[in-house]
Structure 1
Amino acid sequence: MLFTTAAFVCLFLPLTLALFFGLGRWRPSWAASALFGASVAFYGVWMPMYVLLLLGSIAGNFLLGRIIATARAEERRAAAKRWMVLGVSANLALLAYYKYANFFIDNLNALTGQHWQLGTVLLPIGISFFSFTQIAFLADSYQKGVKELRFSHYGLFVTYFPHLIAGPVLHHAQMMPQFRDPATYRWQGAHFSAGLLIFVIGLFKKIVLADGISPWADAVFNPVDAGQVPTLQEAWLGALAYTLQIYFDFSGYSDMAIGLSRLFNVSLPFNFDSPYQATSISDFWRRWHISLSTFLRDYLYIALGGNRHGSVRRYLNLATTMVLGGLWHGASWSFVLWGALHGSYLMINHGFRALCGQALQQRLAGLWSWRVLAWGLTLLSVIVAWIFFRATTLDGALRLLRALLPTGEPAGLDRLLWEAGLPAARGWMLCAVLGLAAVTLPNSNAIGQRLLAQMQQRPGLRAFATGAALLAVALLVLLNTARNAVSAFIYFNF
């Protein structure tokens, strides 16, 4: 089920809410178990063949987490570390097999001239997210002595349906106090109304904005991957359209996840903070996919040595972290190059700041013209990198990248857009409107906090707000159903 479908909105969500709060009045532990079961069912609708894999992964990591925490408490640090390494390795091996096995075999065949085949390995949806969530749990069990006693709470922590398919990557300490709090299982009208309004914002971003601009991105990238050459205008329009599509697609999912979770009185961490308003690439990565950036920093960059072993080692650690972060998104050299580009950007950014010094940085930051220049350069760098992220072939990405440069030759006809029946003028207008919204409007995190405060302070607004939100949800889902073009979220592929 997609969050944008009638089956989810009209069937799964109301039944799960009724079961959760109905049981929560009497036995919070039963309500937690019921939500765990509903989340597994939510996953099972997507991929029933992998439900046992998911449950086996949860059971194995839960057991390992208890063993690690117990060994640590008994001051058997060496044993705890061995179990932690074993658990992390098992999770990475599972991820590597399902996500990278065919990629490895294909590249090995290309190098050796052999024709080895592994067969089709179907990627379990959400495996990157539930694997990283559990790796963080095992690392925290070793480093901090985390010990989870309730299997139902741990299972809910991993499978919690608002985040299961596309994040955010959760930490045990963020969720367990909420699952243990009896207040979580009692109906709270302010949380419900605010959550519903946040969900509507995300639904609008996905159905109207992201899906609205996506045809222009597809009309350029798909034929370019197949070997066609776009015009200068088509190349820029396609690159900008995808830049805005992935922004509102992922931002919309993040809003919906936070809003849905708020219905259950549970707060998810913010995962998206107006990244296209960033004035440096470091700032961008503090705003884009915040939970993944934090995970890569805490469990990879710092583990590699961070900035503790000199500048050269620091830059190598940055590059390695971003390359692996790119590979996390998918088994493709395009993703590797996307990560390598961002690693290069970060190294240049950190090197420039080191050359400038703190005093000059502060003076530059006070100049309006410098901030505009820094913002424009950051956004341009991000747009260039998105081309490798979206293209399905390296040749296609390089073809589109070359087409972004004016050659001085007479402009040709926008054949790719004409064949798709898409007027260029409308595409540019959509890009202008969506781009203006992305770089000027307040982000959903701030809006959501204000909505929650209003619902708590003004109970009289709740009924009106809830009714308006339900009407908006109904209209958006109806629009999504009527156009017969239901699309999954981009990050479902990772």
Structure 2
Amino acid sequence: MLFNSYPFLFCFLPLLLLAWRLAGGSWRPALILLIFSTVFYGSWSAGFLLLLAALIAMNYAFGLALAAPDDAFAVPPQAGGQIPGRPGSRRRISRKGLLVLALGLNLLPLIWFKYSSALLFGAHWKFMPPELPPGISFYTFIQIAWLVDVYRRRFVPAGLSRHALFSACFPYVLSGPIVRYEQVGPQFDALAGLTAENLARGFSLFSLGLAKKVLLADGIAPYADAVFNAAENAFPLSGAEAWLGSFCYTFQLYFDFSGYTDMALGLGLMLGLRLPENFNSPYKSTGIVDFWRRWHITLSAWLRDFLYIPLGGNRAGRLMQYRNLFLTMLIGGAWHGAGWTFLIWGALHGLMLCVNHFFRARIKGSPAESILAAAPLRLLSIAFTFLCINFCWVVFRALSPDGALRVYAAMFTGPFNAAEASTQGLSGMAAFLAALLPNKYFPGWQPFALLAICAVLVWAFPNSREILRGRPDGSLPWLAWRATGLWATGLAALAFLSLILLSRQSSFLYFQF
């Protein structure tokens, strides 16, 4: 069941809100949310629901063991490693060993479902890779963070039903945000009835996300697909077509994933849950370091806390810091999928992060730092960063390294077919466009209008968080949400147009990761 589907919008969500409205007592909203979350995830597959339930039960058992007092793991020294009074018994596993075992058991299903086809690539028998359970990458990371926090004694398990609700809560179980228990766990105790304020803000944010997905991401997707499919099949591709196709995918991915996140946060807000932000205008970044503080914020925080810092962070000098950055991004690329394209994408971002950190360290405290902070050069930094990000999205989108190389080759060496246009009897602007776009991947004016709309929304408009809640400093942007008839009319029109176009329903891009 997708957020952008008629069953969800006209059946699941109304029934949930009705049940929530009728609920009474402090424990009933949490129970209703758990029941509906189970139904939501179970609608994909009963088998996948059983897998999720098994992982939840397993991790809760590990959590109870990790939360035990330290003396439960202490064993007095004894010859042969035996416990006094218990002949033949062996030394019990340490807390750290228990954590390592738990993390390994969590990663096994993810590795099997996501990477088995790559791991068994050289086998001599036919192998059909298993279907990827929805959200397995996200809920595995959520479980790992929960186990590590229990190990660090930041909290103790609060009951199996609470852990099940935290793990399977439907707004974020499929594609994030990658929440931490301290961010949402305490909120489950404060769940109450529906309020007009929460419903209004939640529906507004959900409508904005739905419009991003249906009107923009799905609208521009066919043009990106046409270019990348042509590259995979070695069809002709001009330089302008390659650049336009890459821009189409860059905007498609942004509006697809940020649209999903807006819908997830909006659904949580309707019920009184404040989920962590995941996007902060990432294409306005002035560098790759800045980009990863704005794009998929919860994933960046997870990689920092559970990979980069355990690897050593920046504690052992600059060269080791660069090594740790590179390894973290390489693993982050592998998390997205089993394929050379994802590893190359992670390696490219790792290299760019190292270069950006080196550059920032070199100019820190110098006049160049204040010069680069001036408005004109900031705009140049934003444009350059966007082009670097766009360059990396090419290999991220391509199905194979060969397909990516063909797009890159066309981007930088693509022919300008002026002679062919002249033989067709075209002149002026028509000849120019025919020379730039000879293969009909961008028919009509619609793709150019969509690209222009996407660019204006990304760089000239505030983001969803700023519109609904204001800037972090408390100020309001020029376009700020208010409970007025004008806002209600505009959002209703957006929602109505999105509902009309839901017949071309498509999954969210990050479901495949």
Q: TM-score, normalised by structure 2?
A: 0.87
Which deviates more from structure 2 when the two are superposed, residues 435-444 or residues 313-322?
435-444
Question: 2-side partners of 1:79 and 1:88: how far apart?
Answer: 14
- Matched residue, 2:61: 63
1:34 Cα offset (Å): 2.3
Question: 2-side partners of 1:376 and 1:33: how far apart?
Answer: 48
Gaps of 5+ in 2: 76-92, 422-433, 475-481
The 5 Å alignment of 1:121-136 reads 121-136=130-145
1:254-287 deviation digits (Å, cap 9, x = unpaired) = 1111111101000000001100000000000000
1:308 aligned counterpart, secondary structure: coil
- Matched residue, 1:396: 403
Residue 447 (1) aligns with residue 467 (2): yes
Do the aligned partners of residues 360 and 85 (structure 1) sit closer, same or farther apart at CA in structure 2, a change above 3 Å counting?
A: farther
- Matched residue, 1:479: 500
- Matched residue, 2:272: 265
- Matched residue, 1:427: 447
> Any conservation in 2 of the 1:193–1:465 contact (CA below 8 Å)?
no
- Matched residue, 2:183: 174
Do the aligned partners of residues 375 and 467 (structure 1) sit closer, same or farther apart at CA in structure 2, a change above 3 Å counting?
A: closer
Question: 2-side partners of 1:352 and 1:21: how far apart?
Answer: 55
Question: 2-side partners of 1:424 and 1:403: how far apart?
Answer: 22
Question: 2-side partners of 1:169 and 1:10: how far apart?
Answer: 27
Return the letter of the residue paired with 1:224.
Answer: A
- Matched residue, 2:324: 317
- Matched residue, 1:341: 348
Structure showing the higher helix proportion among its residues: 1
1:145 Cα offset (Å): 3.7
1:72 Cα offset (Å): 4.7
Residue 6 (1) aligns with residue 12 (2): no
Q: TM-score, normalised by structure 1?
A: 0.90
Do the aligned partners of residues 326 and 416 (structure 1) sit closer, same or farther apart at CA in structure 2, a change above 3 Å counting?
A: farther
Question: 2-side partners of 1:472 and 1:271: how far apart?
Answer: 26
> Any conservation in 1 of the 2:113–2:129 contact (CA below 8 Å)?
no
> Any conservation in 2 of the 1:306–1:314 contact (CA below 8 Å)?
yes
Residue 16 (1) aligns with residue 35 (2): no
Return the letter of the residue paired with 1:29.
Answer: W
Q: Alignment partner for residue 241 of structure 2, among 215, 234, 255?
A: 234
1:408 Cα offset (Å): 6.4
- Matched residue, 1:79: 94
C-alpha root-mean-square deviation of aligned residues, in Å?
A: 2.6
The 5 Å alignment of 1:160-171 reads 160-171=169-180
1:107-141 deviation digits (Å, cap 9, x = unpaired) = xx1xxxx5244433111110000000000000111
Higher relative contact order (CA 8 A, sep 6+): 1
Question: 2-side partners of 1:42 and 1:348: how far apart?
Answer: 44
Question: 1-side partners of 2:324 and 2:230: how far apart?
Answer: 37
1:300 Cα offset (Å): 0.4
1:169-218 deviation digits (Å, cap 9, x = unpaired) = 0101001110012xx22222111111001111111111111111111101
- Matched residue, 2:394: 387
1:211-243 deviation digits (Å, cap 9, x = unpaired) = 111111011111211222311111011000001
- Matched residue, 1:102: 117
* Count, aligned residues: 475
Question: 2-side partners of 1:474 and 1:439: how far apart?
Answer: 23
Q: Alignment partner for residue 362 of structure 2, among 355, 365, 374?
A: 355
Do the aligned partners of residues 56 and 473 (structure 1) sit closer, same or farther apart at CA in structure 2, a change above 3 Å counting?
A: farther
1:356 Cα offset (Å): 2.0
- Matched residue, 2:412: 405
Return the letter of the residue paired with 2:47.
Answer: M
Q: Sequence identity, in percent?
A: 39
Do the aligned partners of residues 386 and 492 (structure 1) sit closer, same or farther apart at CA in structure 2, a change above 3 Å counting?
A: same
> Any conservation in 1 of the 2:237–2:439 contact (CA below 8 Å)?
no
1:377 Cα offset (Å): 1.4
Do the aligned partners of residues 188 and 347 (structure 1) sit closer, same or farther apart at CA in structure 2, a change above 3 Å counting?
A: same
Question: 1-side partners of 2:45 and 2:233: how far apart?
Answer: 30
- Matched residue, 1:277: 284
Q: Alignment partner for residue 510 of structure 2, among 485, 491, 494?
A: 491
Gaps of 5+ in 1: 454-460
- Matched residue, 1:244: 251
Do the aligned partners of residues 436 and 406 (structure 1) sit closer, same or farther apart at CA in structure 2, a change above 3 Å counting?
A: farther
Question: 2-side partners of 1:305 and 1:265: how far apart?
Answer: 38
Do the aligned partners of residues 76 and 180 (structure 1) sit closer, same or farther apart at CA in structure 2, a change above 3 Å counting?
A: farther
1:21 Cα offset (Å): 3.5
Which deviates more from structure 2 when the two are superposed, residues 47-56 or residues 355-364?
355-364
Do the aligned partners of residues 123 and 47 (structure 1) sit closer, same or farther apart at CA in structure 2, a change above 3 Å counting?
A: same
> Any conservation in 2 of the 1:334–1:388 contact (CA below 8 Å)?
yes
Which deviates more from structure 2 when the two are superposed, residues 321-330 or residues 82-91?
82-91
Which deviates more from structure 2 when the two are superposed, residues 284-293 or residues 9-18?
9-18
Return the letter of the residue paired with 1:443.
Answer: N
> Any conservation in 2 of the 1:21–1:31 contact (CA below 8 Å)?
no
- Matched residue, 2:165: 156
Question: 1-side partners of 2:281 and 2:275: how far apart?
Answer: 17
Residue 119 (1) aligns with residue 128 (2): yes
